[in-house]
Structure 1
């Protein structure tokens, strides 16, 4: 378990921050405010937390654990803007921001300063602060959104199986999406309620993002064939 320290100019004046580390992240948790931008580039799917069993939403960036296809593509900059990656190494601790000083994102040379010469948050830290704030507010909102979908029986498992030109076969398990059929079968009152809460637009963003799954598969296949 990481040992956290409250971030302060007294102890961390010279702290420098490297870029987000995403090469081994194939699924990154996201919140509702990210759905629109994520859906434009990556598949949005749901999975269950291994400890609590609660559903959460994420951007699918690769087709197997430890492999991030999107990070090495033209979408790499968009990957680095995901809130959960921006805030790597930083945590909310009560009313303060804390850091894991042993996190590999903190570098001795290069990188961006966390504080400027006057001791105020530099650009890199302001981005982290914004990401932490968005996550802090967005995680419970996203949890409630998923609970509303589950109450309407709109969440279903998604079957994702792939065969690549080098002979490798992959099957992704434990992922879920929104059922198009169940959504279409809702009565008018339920649809109006979803619309008024903003859930209908979010649901369509999730469904619309699914075409990126085949794009990820094609990117992966091209890399395998190209060596």
Structure 2
């Protein structure tokens, strides 16, 4: 259940990428407020090098980004850069996201977010990031109408947040099952420097350390367990996460090209 009114028990947990000052949506506090859009619509994403992703979008995410599992909770994320402050899919000149590239649901939800109600897992309050450049007192779209009712825009946003929360719970269940079966192991992505002739130069450099699906351990599962993963749909997500690792080389090449271009402009 989603609320568009504040609660004393509502809290945004963790340190979420993108968000600066999420505040419960409230018809009094946010009267006359809303979102104002500009041509540089993805400036808010340009300094974020990874974003959380949900299980249901693994297939789409894997078409362009490596899927990693990070932190104590093994949060699934898409890598969009190689270091903090770098997003290789947002044009720094225009603030636009790369055309024809899948945009994760976490980004599409912004600047809205949910705040949990303690142990009440099925209840949450919808918040808006007042620290966002999109937040405005001279908006293109309002949060509430003149009667204090939710606008159609805000209602659609709340519905989207509700669906996203359901997807997050599914992802947590998937990750928990992977951990239970010992399928998440620490992995590394490495880059081999080469000279102009394409010959290796020096030792490979570690680009990232993270947890990922271990294909070897997956193949070692007994027939019944493997069939269970196939029947509940988890197997497809595991294969998508493993195949997404092929995106490391293109990502590294993007970073190198960007560094070269920036050096030439300096």
Shorter chain as normaliser: what TM range?
0.7 to 0.9
Alignment deviations for residues 110-136 of structure 1 (CA, whole Å, 9 cap, x no partner): x7414597865355x466335412321
In the alignment, which residue of structure 2 is the partner of 1:113?
141
Name 2:84's counterpart in structure 1.
Answer: 65
Q: Relative to total residues, which structure has the larger helix share, 1 or 2?
A: 1
Spell out, residue by residue over 1:154-207, the C-alpha distance to the aligned partner (whole angstroms, 9 max, x if none): 11112123366899x963444111111111222211110110111101101111
Question: TM-score, structure 2 length as denominator?
Answer: 0.70
- Of 30, 37, 54, the residue aligned with 1:31 is 54
User: Out of 148, 166, 178, which is 1:149 matched to?
Assistant: 178
How many residue pairs are counted as aligned between the two chains?
219
Determine the C-alpha separation between the residues in 1 that align with 2:98 and 2:177: 31
Corresponding residue for 1:42? 65
Out of 176-185 and 198-207, give the one that drifted further.
176-185
Shift of 1:78: 3.9
**Is residue 85 from structure 1 mapped to residue 85 from structure 2 by the alignment?**
no
Aligned-partner Cα distance in 1 for 2:48–2:192? 21
RMSD over aligned Cα atoms = 3.1
Q: Which moved more, 1:207-216 or 1:133-142?
A: 133-142
Counterpart check, 1:16 vs 2:35: yes
Structure 1 residue ranges without an equivalent (≥5): none
Q: Distance in 2 between matches of 1:76 and 1:65?
A: 23
Mark the structure with the bigger radius of gyration.
Answer: 2
Deviations 1:27-84 (A, max 9, x none): 1001112212111121111111xxxx211101110111111112239735646x3222
**Scaled by the length of structure 1, what TM-score is found?**
0.80
Return 5+ residue gaps in structure 2 as ranges: 1-19, 116-122, 196-200
